[in-house]
Amino acid sequence: MFFVVSAFSQTTDKQAREVSDAFMRDIAAGRTEAAIERWHKAGAEQFEQQFLKTTAASSIRSNVENCGRPAAVTPLQDGKPEVGELVTQDRKIKQLIFLYRVRTPRGLRRFDVTVEAGETGEYHVAGLGCGILKE
């Protein structure tokens, strides 16, 4: 499995951006359960759903511990995502990565929210990362 990244798309998928922005608002407000639900994947089996919830909770917790809880969140790149593909043996999954400038108690950070469309076309969060933002 590998990830191919191209330059950010000139067109932003509005639904994907709304999922990403809502996810970041939930994290900033301390609504972890609501953020975990955005990691939900429509059509997934119950076992996979439980795995996704566990993954989401762990990722949110570790990113907030490492970078601090977001206090002020601003989209980077005018809200346009970086576009990539997750390539597995049996399919390619288009992923949109939205970048945010985030003020935390530990200073400025960059949070990355990966969003992808499920088999039903419904967007969900598929990943979260954070790091120090250099100005």
CATH of the domain at 74: 3.10.450
The model carries a pTM of 0.84
Chain segment 8-42, per-residue pLDDT in tens: 343 348 899 999 999 999 999 999 999 988 887 76
Predicted confidence band of residue 92 (pLDDT cuts 50, 70, 90): confident
Chain segment 44-90, per-residue pLDDT in tens:
788 888 888 899 999 999 999 999 999 999 999 999 999 888 887 88
Alpha carbon distances (Å) from 26 to 1, 7, 36, 72, 79: 30, 28, 9, 12, 18
Structural domain harbouring 128 = 2-132
From the number of C-beta atoms within 10 Å of its C-beta (0-12, 13-18, 19+), residue 63 rates as buried
- Categorize the per-residue pLDDT at 2 as very low, low, confident or very high, splitting at 50, 70 and 90: very low
**Whole-angstrom distance, CA of residue 30 vs CA of residue 45:** 28
> Does 118 score more than 90 pLDDT?
no
SS3 23: helix
Q: Domain total for the chain?
A: 1
